[in-house]
Amino acid sequence: MHKDIATPVRTKKILEKYGFSFKKSLGQNFLIDTNILRNIVEYAGLTGESGAIEVGPGIGALTEQLAKVCKKVVAFEIDQRLLPILDDTLSPYPNTKIIHQDVLKANVKDVIKEEFTEIEDIMVVANLPYYVTTPIIMKLLEEQLPIRGIVCMLQKEVADRISAKPGTKEYGSLSIAIQYYTEAETVMIVPKTVFMPQPNVDSAVIKLVKRKEPLFPVKDENFFFTVTRGSFIQRRKTIINNLMSALPNGKEKKELILSALSEVGIESNRRGESLSIEEFAKLSDALYPYFHETTV
Ligand code: SAM
């Protein structure tokens, strides 16, 4: 058995050996608590037949725990200085592969095709860099990758928004975008003390399980997201006022927006935060013809 990477003593030793200094701009807060890592891995529900994709392995703390339970781990790391360290710390785990790339620029679909031949169950598992949590999650969901879901550590405040229900102050276009694709649940609140260095904000782990079908299929997903984002531009404004500002020529098309709202039984003086995802889906489909008519 090898000594776990994720203990304060071993982590410090590794950092000293390589003279590594943290880059705040890359969201480098490493986990130094093996129990938390094991819990994260457990929430992912991996088996010896599974594959894991990790974003930002750091010095390999989570990678190691993933490598112990699944068939293969592929991790994207942006910081070149970590490559020799990972080579060293992960040498006991031949089922790991590090790709030196910004995950936001990576072709994850092709990587999955190349690296996970014969693996059907694939999860993304990560302690995400907090400066880019939302773009990373949205990229992984929008690209319709053959993954079962995502289990990741992120800022508690973002986790709250992702799993929020209608009628709460956290509910917004991010909740809708993510719950449209996945069942979202916050599974763990994590104290700052398990990180080195400690972040300024509280953290949480969320589990996103991809739906087989989107929650309420819509005519046009891009337009649906335009409508949902537009409905929250100013949270305190009514849905009609927000849509008039957000949709192309919205002010001139006020009557059409009002008629779409009434067609689906949504009062125009409601606020975005009170609409369920199903109501947004119906509204987006009712508005769609008015904003995609062919001009004669
Ligand atoms: N997984 C390690 C752990 O839990 O200790 C490190 C997590 S740390 C919060 C985030 C990691 O993501 C860092 O190693 C950082 O260099 C890396 N990173 C930051 N931005 C990235 C990006 N755009 N693509 C890939 N990796 C990135």
Torsion of Cα atoms, 66 then 69 then 73 then 78, to 10°: 10
Q: Per-residue pLDDT averaged across 223-238, rounded?
A: 95
Q: Are residues 175 and 262 in the same domain?
A: no
Between the alpha carbon of residue 132 and those of residues 96, 127, 137, 158, the distances in Å are 24, 12, 9, 11
Least confident of 43-47, 119-123, 179-183, 214-218: 214-218
Structural domain includes residue 64: yes
| Nearest protein CA to atom 18 of ligand 1, as residue | 56
Classify residue 19 as left (phi > 0), alpha (psi -120 to 50) or beta: left
> How many domains is the chain built from?
2
Q: Are residues 175 and 40 in the same domain?
A: yes
The pTM of this model reads 0.94
- pLDDT exceeds cutoff 70 at 294: no
Strands (DSSP E) along 78-202, which ranges?
96-100, 122-127, 149-155, 182-190, 195-196
Report the separation in Å between the CA atom of 127 and the middle of ligand 1, taken as the mean of its atom positions: 7
pLDDT at 224: 96
Structural domain includes residue 156: yes
- pLDDT exceeds cutoff 80 at 286: yes
| Nearest protein CA to atom 21 of ligand 1, as residue | 78
Report the separation in Å between the CA atom of 61 and the middle of ligand 1, taken as the mean of its atom positions: 11
Structural domain includes residue 103: yes
Please give the backbone phi and psi of residue 196, each rounded to the nearest 5 degrees, phi first: -130, 120
pLDDT at 215: 85
Report the separation in Å between the CA atom of 103 and the middle of ligand 1, taken as the mean of its atom positions: 10
Q: Are residues 90 and 169 in the same domain?
A: yes
Report the separation in Å between the CA atom of 222 and the middle of ligand 1, taken as the mean of its atom positions: 29
- pLDDT exceeds cutoff 80 at 62: yes
Report the separation in Å between the CA atom of 281 and the middle of ligand 1, taken as the mean of its atom positions: 35
> Is residue 261 within 8 Å of residue 248, measured between CB atoms?
no
Q: Are residues 29 and 121 in the same domain?
A: yes
Ligand 1 neighbours by CB, cut-off 6 Å: 26-31, 55-58, 61-62, 76-79, 82, 102-104, 127, 129, 132
pLDDT at 190: 97
End-to-end CA distance of the chain: 73
Q: What is the pLDDT of residues 76-87, one digit of tens each?
A: 999 999 999 999
Q: In which domain, by residue range, is 261 found? A: 221-291
> Is residue 155 within 8 Å of residue 84, measured between CB atoms?
no
Q: Are residues 66 and 103 in the same domain?
A: yes
Can you give the length of the chain in residues? 296
Mutational pocket test of ligand 1: of 18, 26, 154, the residue with most ligand atoms within 8 Å of the beta carbon: 26
Q: Which of 210, 229, 258 is the last residue of a domain?
A: 210
- pLDDT exceeds cutoff 60 at 296: no
Q: Per-residue pLDDT averaged across 133-140, rounded?
A: 97
Report the separation in Å between the CA atom of 233 and the middle of ligand 1, taken as the mean of its atom positions: 31
Output the CA torsion sign for 128, 131, 132, 133.
positive
Q: What is the pLDDT of residues 148-205, one digit of tens each?
A: 999 999 999 999 999 999 999 999 999 999 999 999 999 999 999 999 999 999 999 9
Q: Per-residue pLDDT averaged across 219-237, rounded?
A: 95
How does the average pLDDT of the chain come out, rounded? 96
Q: Per-residue pLDDT averaged across 130-159, rounded?
A: 97
Q: Are residues 51 and 198 in the same domain?
A: yes
